[in-house]
Structure 1
Amino acid sequence: MSRSDQPTTAEDEESILREYVLDVRIVEERPPDGGSRYRFEAPHHEGITFDEPELAELYADVYFDVNGFQEAGTGDRGVPPEIIQAGQDTLAAYFLTQPGIDENWVASFYGIKNTKVERYASWVRTRAEEVREGARERGME
């Protein structure tokens, strides 16, 4: 699982894979040479692309869990302050979206079992859905 550093080209076909409230979405990019990449887009957020749709969706969940964040300016190894302040479960989920990091790495980092890492990610997904539902109820689509 990884992020992709390949830029979008004019020849890429695109379609919306998932659309969320507040103009947040995941776009599937299909380059002419085959395969797919998944770009997370949000207002005031530098787009980021993933090789797997599940990672893009987890990234979106982290984004909603902390009510948005910016990675620009955090450096190659930095973590946005909003994520650090949100707690261990949100940070663990964010780590899972980073290149070269998987459940084993996160479990080792925290000294926990993989099942707890999975639980952390599920808590973030649940809270993110609650945030999106609350936005929909308030007509913020």
Structure 2
Amino acid sequence: MSKTDQRPPETACESVHREYILDVRVVEVTDDDEPRYRFEAPEHRGVAFDDPEMAELYADVYFCANGFEEDGTGEYGIPPAIIGAGRAVLASYMLAQPHNDLEWVASFFGMKPHRINKYAEVVTNRAQEIRDGAEERGVE
């Protein structure tokens, strides 16, 4: 589940769950409730997830789409950069949204759920290749 995060209260404990290049990261935020995982990137509003895997998939989508911003797309809108990044990126983005689950995304695309999982795997692998290539060129 994701939602806009309005910065945690002072009592919350934060730690970096996963750090990427270009100041992109997933931060674990723990307070009295269950931990949440907030995606952070420059020029991108914080989006929080209940599941760390969905936060990481969202980060992978971010890299595959060469960044994107959701402001102005509405609650159920899809940023144009996501649509232009291809079917696997679009399916992965939709899978990471709180109002969707694997079966719904599979139905939307007219596919079996295992195909959507394959799309997510392709996106994760492609994002890692993008990050590795950037690091080889000295991008931090």
| Shorter-chain TM band | over 0.9
Can you give the 5+ residue segments of structure 1 that lack an aligned partner in the other structure? none
Superposition pairs of residues 1-141 of structure 1, within 5 angstroms: 2-4=1-3, 7=6, 8-31=8-31, 33-141=32-140
Deviation at 1:11, TM superposition (A): 1.1
The 1:86–1:136 alpha-carbon spacing in structure 2 relative to 1, beyond 3 Å, is same
Query: What SS class does the counterpart of residue 11 from structure 1 fall into?
Result: coil
Query: What SS class does the counterpart of residue 130 from structure 2 fall into?
Result: helix
Amino acid aligned to 2:57: L
List per-residue Cα deviations over 1:7-59 (Å, max 9, x = no partner): 4211110000000001000000001x131000000011111100110010000
Amino acid aligned to 1:107: A
Runs of 4+ in structure 1 over 2 Å off? 4-7
Query: What SS class does the counterpart of residue 45 from structure 2 fall into?
Result: strand
**Residues 5 and 38 in structure 2, CA contact (< 8 A), matched pair in contact too:** no
Deviation at 1:100, TM superposition (A): 2.1
Deviation at 1:4, TM superposition (A): 4.1
Deviation at 1:130, TM superposition (A): 0.6
List per-residue Cα deviations over 1:93-141 (Å, max 9, x = no partner): 0001111211100110011001100110001001100110011001111
List per-residue Cα deviations over 1:81-100 (Å, max 9, x = no partner): 00011111110000011112
Indicate the percent of aligned positions where both proteins have the same amino acid: 54
Q: Say what the alpha-carbon RMSD is for the aligned residues.
A: 1.1
**Residues 4 and 51 in structure 1, CA contact (< 8 A), matched pair in contact too:** no
**Residues 25 and 40 in structure 2, CA contact (< 8 A), matched pair in contact too:** yes
Aligned residues: 139
Per the normalisation by structure 2, the TM-score is: 0.95
Per the normalisation by structure 1, the TM-score is: 0.95
